[in-house]
Chains A and B, each alone.
Chain A
Amino acid sequence: MDVDLFVPCYVDRLAPQVGLATAALLERLGCRVRFDPRQTCCGQPFVTTGAHAEARRLARRHAAVFSGAEAVVCPSASCVATVRHRYADLLDEEVARALAARTFELGEFIVKVLNRSDVGARFPHRVALLESCHGLRELALGWPSERSGRPTHAGVSETLLRSVAGLELCEPARRDECCGFGGAFSVAYPELSARIGRAKLAALAQSGAEFVTGTDASCLLHLDGLRRREGAGPRVLHLAEILASQEPA
């Protein structure tokens, strides 16, 4: 299957290893991976700061870059949620719907499109999952803890992690509470963002995890920034890095 990588701007610039792991993983799963270097940013930072005109400009650009793609795969739930949920307000309805239908978060693509849960990874460590709020609630990649009723689907990231050889999944308290990043929120409301983040970090550490993983490198960079300032806590790795990993036993 031909896959067009949608590598978020901050992954491209600040966490290139996440993009490389994504490409390697998809290739290992038999996909032909392309990366169109005309892509820049999906526009999410402009949507969330209320810069509607700029958001529209970036959305148009993003849609044009990926107009010919068969499947667009992205290692960020929150950028995919922007395309799927916010583009309807920014673009022509048809264009937005068509792009949304073939844009996937990485784990979602593996589980729902490639129909795989065991990707042949090996990572013999204790790992806790940081659920991405946008993945959980806007892409329905899991069952939020506040949601009533019996879960009708398993969490995508969890399903993948449970199939990784040697990996022990830890269960932190308040498993899906927000990490406090929130994009521009983390800069404009630094004290509140850090309060939420430190509590998250403490819960993750308490779970016994050596590593924390998730589908959004942005949330992970925020937690890692706190960890390095505080001097303690589990290290961060993106889900793609763990799934690409084939550490010997």
Chain B
Amino acid sequence: MSITEHAKAAYVAGQSADARINFEIEAEGMTLNMGPQHPATHGTLRILVRLDGEQVIWAEPICGYMHRGYEKLCEVRDYAQVTTLVNRIDWLGSFANEVPFVLAAERLMGIEAPPRAQWIRTLLFEMARIANVSLFLGEMGAQLGALTPVFYAFRDREYVLNMIEAVTGGRFHPNFDRIGGLKDDLPKGWIEETKGAMARLREFCDEMETLLADNRIFQERCRGVGVIPREVGLEYGVSGANIRASGVDWDLRRDSDVGLAYKHLDWRVWTHPDGDSFARYWVRLQETREAIGMVEQLVDGLPSGPIRAKTPARIRVPAGEVWVQTENPLGEMGYYVVSDGSPGGPFRCKIRTPSFSNVSIVPWLLQGTYVPDVITILASLYFILGDIDR
């Protein structure tokens, strides 16, 4: 957070709220501290809300409780080591974090991964998306009080994680991407098992649609709650499914020319005109189905060939700067990598994470809502704490 007057005011308010929490109930309104430890925030996000009864007068997300300084750490690692770090940004879809960084490094070096590596990258990228979003599909129910869907989400997410583990050796932190290609090829028999897993996940999506999206109570809770108008969303830099749910037809997988295999696939970008919490849920549900379809197409059409381009044993990135952005499970993720040509790591690495921008709309969005809707809105915005604070 940059030091602006706004941020200062929020900081002072937070400090004073700390002092008086649990000791007084003011005559007019009360300050409620949601987080850093609160069951609704899946991590240590703190939302300071000023309430009048149950209505929110203003709200302020206070992030930074999990700041790990990855941008600075990137400067003291070499390029090969950075993927280990960035794995831990969005920990539910880790592989997707590695891809834009590796693409940036490749672009600086002027090399390109061979087609098979690109296809497997795309494959794992979409599997990371499924692993990430399928948890949201159940978690949203848990936030609204339905306890069972989240168990189904964890159960069926396991199928994807198992397949990711079979390739990369890591369930959560694959660290599989290499500059110029990938660490290994796919193991034997993997493609057949993946098809089975994808069939299971299709059933999971149908199940979630029946249990939640079609549920009357779920719709009552979500429809018309937390509406992000198209223009406001664009101004705040909201991205990913959150902005597509507001009717913006913008998906970097289709609209940018990154070195991935999307242009060979048959798929579509889903949007929803409403911009409310239900639209965000619905768009993510459709995107998960779309991702499952993409994985099925990718395993069918895998080209043969090497999985790594020829790279020197010691990676040396020439001087220059580059900005690479991809459509990650949570939204647009970008790396601005500056190299000074020295051996070792990047001179500067700016990481643009989707959740940070998505959460910035929270003060605008929460004004005038009620406490139960706060939970709905936060759940439907779907952020990962590691992705906010990195």
Q: Do A and B come from one complex?
A: no
- Could you list which residues of chain B lie within 8 angstroms of chain A, going by C-beta atoms? none
The chain A residues found within 8 Å of chain B, CB to CB, are none
